């Protein structure tokens, strides 16, 4: 019986919280109507806020795109440098092997 009472009290609390949330959501619209400012002004303010936030986000996206482009160019440069170093290594390695073979041949003779 006590468990049922506790459960019912908990359910009542949840229902009251939900009711308060719904009233708070509805009161936002009521304040738009009660403050004496025409709805037109509210819509213009919201439109301006939206445009400002959109512009800021677009600017942020452009800066991220530029950063990505810079990193891609940097990576391309590094890949090119790696290829050059690999070729140099291969050349040095071949020269070393040739020199080693010649030295071994001379030692045998």
- Global pTM reads 0.50
Q: pLDDT tens digits, residue range 1-60?
A: 788 888 899 999 999 888 888 777 666 666 666 667 777 887 888 899 999 999 999 999
Task: Please calculate the CA angle 91-96-101 and round it to the nearest 5 degrees.
Answer: 130
Q: pLDDT tens digits, residue range 20-37?
A: 887 776 666 666 666 677
Domain boundaries, the chain: 1-36, 38-109
* 46 touches 56 (CB < 8 A): no
Question: 2-34 and 39-108 are packed helices; what angle lies between their axes, rounded to 10 degrees?
Answer: 110
**Tokens describing residue 65:** 């795109």
């Amino acid at each position: 019986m006590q468990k049922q009472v506790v459960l019912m009290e908990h359910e009542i609390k949840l229902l009251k919280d939900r009711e308060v949330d719904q009233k708070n959501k509805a009161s936002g619209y009521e304040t738009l109507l009660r403050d004496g400012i025409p709805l037109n002004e509210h819509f213009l303010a919201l439109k301006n806020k939206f445009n400002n936030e959109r512009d800021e986000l677009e600017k942020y996206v452009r800066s991220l795109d530029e950063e990505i482009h810079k990193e891609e160019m940097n990576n391309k440069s590094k890949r090119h440098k790696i290829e050059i170093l690999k070729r140099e290594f291969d050349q040095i390695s071949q020269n070393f092997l040739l020199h080693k073979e010649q030295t071994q041949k001379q030692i045998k003779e």
